[in-house]
Structure 1
Amino acid sequence: IPEEGEYEPNIKDAKPVISPDKLKFGAEKLYKVTNIVDENTLELDTGLKVRFFGVNIKRDELSRLLAYLNEYVKGKQIFLEFDQYSRPESEIVPAYVFLKNRIFINKELVRQGLANVQIGNFKYKSTFIKVVGD
């Protein structure tokens, strides 16, 4: 029984889905991509795993996609942007991925025909749809 003024959580053993030490904030928000886990998932220098949000990878373009990610993304510095509609359901965080030079990787995947635009609402949906027609 807690003493007066002590906090006792209503949900016992609650913990965040994502460990806070895997996230970077402020001036140190750049991550380095250390591994291409699979066609949709990057592993970062903090151990955080990120899934491309707003796109569905085309299964028939896997070899071209993996070649692109290995050449242009692996080993590079990136920053992440999160969407109000994206919620982590596991240790993998859905996010928009940008290279340090501001190239928007999720958009590039759609533009190059490596991914389709995801169904549903999200911040960059109109941006992705526009590049499909270009």
Structure 2
Amino acid sequence: MVKFGYTILYVENVTDSIAFYENAFGFSRKFITPDNDYGDLVTGETTISFASKTLAKSNLKDGFIESSLIDRPFAIELGFITDDVAELVQKATSFGARLVSEPHQKPWGQMVSYVRDLDGFLIEICTSMDI
């Protein structure tokens, strides 16, 4: 059996990133190392984790492409489901998220908006797709 356990985002500052996700989205801190170079958030069944770029570089000797607000986002996104997209977008941007796309309705009825977090990772904020 295989179970999707977590996604790790390589960030500049683990504690700042965790604080952003706690404040903007209401997730709670599960764990952070004494060196503040790795941490987890409680987000439901799957954990969002954060590793410092320094720690990531020690694990990936050939390096990696770093996320940045200066560059376009990677071809991946985190999806957060809510009943009130506009309210959550406003809350996220008040804590430093950058608005990419205002809330808009898709042809199938779903409300969707996009923001980027402090490190430039793309976040979709949307209503549920109860199909």
With structure 1 as the length reference, what TM-score do the two structures score? 0.30
Bigger radius of gyration: 1
The structure with the greater share of residues assigned to strand is 2
